[in-house]
Amino acid sequence: MMKNTEQDYSHIKGWGFDADPLDVPSYPMKKRTENDNKGMIWERPPQQPELVEVLHSNERPGLTAVFGTPNPPAGLSGKIRRFAFRYSESMIRHWLLLLLADRVNVMEGVHQDIRSGHIPDFFGELGGKAELKYNKAGLIRKVALGVLVGVVAVACLRRKNE
């Protein structure tokens, strides 16, 4: 049965404080202005200079007034991203190509690290120290499972070769 809601809420701090929508200054209401339905006519902020390549959705003209500049598209992942942006946000290929580019970009990141003399610390980057501290049993299980899968794979390959 439904719980009886006729009860004393005095133990709940602030109960009902925002219950009246008319007394909530933040309650979202559409603010109508004379500019409604007139398109992109607002006073645009000054344009940030485009010093790196910035990809933009084909569902809007040009760039927004500001944008992020780190990690501009580069390499093979950059090529895939540029291709993805030929398609609108409503096309699944736009997003799947971007996800593909992300995976390629991960390989590029490892390559870039090694080329610059940095050997990636996979154990540390994956949070291995925390796993060791808070989930030792889980870590042992994962390592054991990995070893088991490896042994089975090697055994299967040997059998195939024989």
Partner 1 sequence: MLAMNYRGPYRVRADRNKPMPRIEHSGDAIVRVTRSCICGSDLHLYHGLVPDTRVGTTFGHEFIGVVEEIGEAVQNLKVGDNVLVPFNIACGKCVFCEQQLYGNCHESNPEATAVGGIFGYSHTAGGFDGGQAEYVRVPYADVGPMIIPEDMDHDNAVLLTDVFPTGYQAAEMGGIKPGDTVVVFGAGPVGIMAAKSAWLFGAGRVIVIDHLEYRLEFVKNYAQCEAYNFRSLEDPVLFIKKTTDWLGADVCIDAVGCEAAGDAMQTITGRKLMLQAGSATALHWAINSVKKGGIVSIVGVYGPTGNLIPIGNVVNKGITIRANQASVKRLLPRLIEHIQSGRIDPKQIITHRIPLEEVSDAYHIFSAKLDNCIKPILIPPSARK
Report the residue from 16, 117, 159, 160 that binds partner 1 according to the rule CB under 8 A. 16
Least distance (Å) between residue 16 CB and partner 1: 4
- The verdict on 146 binding partner 1 (CB under 8 A) reads no
Any residues with CB less than 8 A from the CB of 63 and at least 6 apart, and which? 47, 48, 50, 54, 56
CB 42 within 8 A of CB 49: no
CB 63 within 8 A of CB 54: yes
DSSP conformation class of 45: P
Total residues in contact with partner 1, by rule CB under 8 A: 83
Q: Which is nearer to partner 1, 19 or 158 (CB)?
A: 19
Least distance (Å) between residue 161 CB and partner 1: 32
* Cα–Cα distance, 89 to 59 (Å, whole number): 8
Least distance (Å) between residue 63 CB and partner 1: 5
Q: Which residues of 37-61 are buried (b: 16+ CB within 10 A; e: fewer)?
A: eeeeeeeeeeeeeeeeeeeeeeeee
Q: Which is nearer to partner 1, 17 or 162 (CB)?
A: 17
- Residue 2 to residues 49, 62, 128, Cα–Cα distance (Å): 60, 55, 48
Least distance (Å) between residue 151 CB and partner 1: 24
Q: Which is nearer to partner 1, 138 or 151 (CB)?
A: 138
Report the residue from 49, 159, 161, 162 that binds partner 1 according to the rule CB under 8 A. 49
Window contacting partner 1 (CB under 8 A); options: 28-36, 142-150, 154-162:
28-36
- The verdict on 142 binding partner 1 (CB under 8 A) reads no
Report the residue from 92, 115, 158, 160 that binds partner 1 according to the rule CB under 8 A. 92
Cα first-last separation, the chain: 68
